[in-house]
Chains A and B, each alone.
Chain A
Amino acid sequence: MIVMSKQIKNMESNNSNTELNIELKSMRVEFGAGLVEAASTDERIVALCADLTESTGLSDFKDKFPDRFIQVGVAEQNLATVASGMAAMGKIPFMASYAVFSPGRNWEQIRTTICYNDRPVKIIGSHTGVNVGPDGGSHQALEDIAMMRSLPRMVVISPCDALEAKKAAIAMSKTDSPTYVRLAREKSPNMTSDDTPFVIGKANIIFGGSSKPDVGIISTGAITYEALQAAKKLEEMGKKVTVLNLSTIKPLDRDKIIELARSAGAIVTVEEHQMAGGMGSAVAELLAKEYPVPMEFVAVNDVFGQSGKSDELLSLYGLDRKGIVEAVMRVLKR
């Protein structure tokens, strides 16, 4: 079953993002739109921001619901603890900043006052991955998945495109769980469609679907576009590939991952995050116990990012389609 959009199918596989003649959409803007939609039917939803309202996609919420919007200033520890207090009174707070600052700077506050307290606070971490680009390594969150998935109760969501981001906002607003969502700064191609199902905890195959693929690629976030391009290239090379879009990193869709490992016999994970503790680690923890197969990890390997264009950085750290194809060839030799 191939669920790629027409746009993707028509693309030249060797194009870089910036050269594409297709519409790019902002996860942040669409997440914000989803939040407004959810908030218009649920009065419990409030939003908090730490001096980054526009660039975390909360401007519409602020305009539509000024009484339900709290500006805490440049104070991410306050962001988390005030959100926890609001949740204690029955609110469903969405708190937004760049992921380096939140959940980066306020991890302990999130641990103690949100997770340990079991409060349904929704944490929006924007500007994740190296696609942040020119702002440089200080602003490129590459550790957030590890920090969040290690917390008991925390749900971790990583949409692959703007459509998923919007659906994630609505889905998150309806649960009682502390939830982290990681969003990208750069606009990115839509890989799913309006009717692609989005269920927290469920992964979707977005490329391939052979009952006996040569390799399974498990990808998360906007970089999934690179995984799709790599898959196309590999198919041209005669390899059967299945790409699983893992938009929920915790809880893992165990059945889908084990099924893919069983049918493919080799797995490559793809993420814009440190290798240590990221999505690939989560998949490896599962498969090492349930169905061990050879694995390769496309991820940032224990270094910080730097300034540059998004595609330059993806290439530099081996996260682009070329790096993914190479990882697949390595895993197939094992």
Chain B
Amino acid sequence: MALSSEKIEMLEKTAWSIRRSVVHMLIEARSGHLAGALGMADIFTYLYFHTLKHDPKNPSWPMRDRLVLSNGHICPALYATLAEAGYFPMSDLMTLRKLSSHLQGHPHREWLPALETSSGPLGCGLSQTVGMALADRIDNGKASDRHFYCLMSDGELDEGNTWEGIMLGAKEKLQNITAIIDRNKIQIDGPTEDIMPLDPIGDKWRAFNWHVQEIDGHDFGEIDKAINEARLVTDRPSVIIANTIPSKGIPEFEGRFEWHGKAPTTKEEIEIALRAFPKE
């Protein structure tokens, strides 16, 4: 069943609020990765406010779905989503990257047990997701109704470890894995197709025996359709290539690779960012 217009409106409002939190967190922290965090806010919102089985009051609930954030540097979006969902107070967000904060610069599950894993070093998340799904299959067989999501960047497809995980996921036919690639076409040093060409990404994953879909990562209808289709695949894992706009929501910064790894810090940059996402 397609999303109702009311539901889409709710999701859009939540995603906007998450983006606003991300911007304010990074301005306060004076560092962090802006572009990817803003680009993936819609997908985080859809997952946590529509489809994931999870319980903010009981983060270790064994039956929960698992969401592995492989590209840990976009964690401000995950933190803002978790706060929005009620895992911890919104006021904690302003402690990002500060001493003793549970919101570490890159996610560390020791500080924040609601995280499924620690990440930052790239290319490791998909294989951990594969390991989780394998363990689940040992315990529950194909009857398991847990789903395993891995959010990853396009840049980390440069990492060999990623492809090792892709091969094992396909070999083991782990149908309850859905990988979602943030296809924003930027990495720290420049456009992905200049630094290390990835296209045709979809054909590559298809050749590795994954079920492949490509969507607009800001369109809740398309996200919904792709996630549901992925859950119906029974003989292989799925990947959704989500085309996103880096720095989505701040027109002056959108699409520019320079915003991959930094926060607004100059007076002018902060003004631009706050114009798009003013304080309440």
Give A contacts to B, CB under 8 Å: 46, 67-68, 70, 72-73, 75, 77-78, 81-91, 93, 108-109, 112-113, 116-118
Residue numbers in B under 8 Å from A77 (CB-CB): 123-124, 127, 160-161, 164
Residue numbers in B under 8 Å from A89 (CB-CB): 131-132, 135-136, 139
CA distance A70 to B132 in the complex (A): 12
Contacts A82-B131, A84-B131, A113-B117 known; list 12 others, CB within 8 Å. Answer: A70-B134, A77-B161, A81-B131, A84-B128, A85-B117, A88-B132, A112-B119, A112-B121, A112-B124, A113-B128, A116-B108, A117-B109
Separation in Å of the A140 CB from the closest CB of chain B? Answer: 24
Cβ contact within 8 Å between A85 and B128:
yes
Q: Cβ of B129 < 8 Å from any Cβ of A?
A: yes
Chain A interface SS verdict (over half): helix
* A–B complex contacts, Cβ < 8 Å, 8 sampled: A46-B135, A77-B161, A81-B165, A82-B131, A84-B131, A112-B119, A113-B124, A113-B128
CA distance A68 to B129 in the complex (A): 17
Residue numbers in B under 8 Å from A86 (CB-CB): 131-132, 134-135
* Complex interface bits, B139-154 against A, C-beta within 8 A gives 1, otherwise 0: 1000000000000000
Chain A residue at smallest Cβ distance from B130: A82
Pick the contact of B161: A78, A93, A118 (CB < 8 A): A78
Q: Cβ of B116 < 8 Å from any Cβ of A?
A: yes
CB-contacts of B147-203 with A (<8 A): 160-161, 164-165, 167-168
Residue numbers in B under 8 Å from A72 (CB-CB): 164, 168
Interface size on B, residues (CB 8 A): 31
Nearest first, the 3 closest Cβ-Cβ pairs linking A and B are A85-B131, A81-B127, A89-B135
Cβ contact within 8 Å between B118 and A78:
no
Cβ contact within 8 Å between B167 and A88:
no
Chain B interface SS verdict (over half): helix
Residue numbers in A under 8 Å from B116 (CB-CB): 88
Known contacts A46-B138, A118-B110; A81/B119 CB under 8 A: no
Chain B residue at smallest Cβ distance from A115: B118
Cβ contact within 8 Å between B167 and A73:
yes
CA distance A68 to B131 in the complex (A): 12
Residue numbers in A under 8 Å from B138 (CB-CB): 46, 67-68, 91
Residue numbers in A under 8 Å from B135 (CB-CB): 46, 85-86, 88-91
Give B contacts to A, CB under 8 Å: 66, 68, 108-110, 116-121, 123-124, 127-136, 138-139, 160-161, 164-165, 167-168
Chain B residue at smallest Cβ distance from A75: B164
CA distance A67 to B136 in the complex (A): 12
Residue numbers in A under 8 Å from B133 (CB-CB): 85
Chain A residue at smallest Cβ distance from B148: A85
Known contacts A78-B165, A91-B138; A113/B118 CB under 8 A: yes
Residue numbers in A under 8 Å from B108 (CB-CB): 116
Separation in Å of the A183 CB from the closest CB of chain B? Answer: 23
Residue numbers in B under 8 Å from A68 (CB-CB): 138
Separation in Å of the A208 CB from the closest CB of chain B? Answer: 44
Cβ contact within 8 Å between B127 and A82:
yes
CA distance A70 to B130 in the complex (A): 11
CA distance A77 to B165 in the complex (A): 9
Pick the contact of A85: B119, B123, B129 (CB < 8 A): B129
CA distance A81 to B121 in the complex (A): 12
Cβ contact within 8 Å between B165 and A82:
yes
Cβ contact within 8 Å between A81 and B118:
no
Residue among A67, A72, A83 with max Cβ neighbours from chain B (10 Å): A72
Cβ contact within 8 Å between B118 and A112:
yes
CA distance A108 to B119 in the complex (A): 11
Residue numbers in A under 8 Å from B160 (CB-CB): 77
Separation in Å of the B165 CB from the closest CB of chain A? Answer: 6
Separation in Å of the B257 CB from the closest CB of chain A? Answer: 25
Residue numbers in A under 8 Å from B131 (CB-CB): 81-89, 93
Chain B residue at smallest Cβ distance from A77: B161
Residue numbers in A under 8 Å from B167 (CB-CB): 73, 75
Residue numbers in A under 8 Å from B117 (CB-CB): 84-85, 88, 113, 117
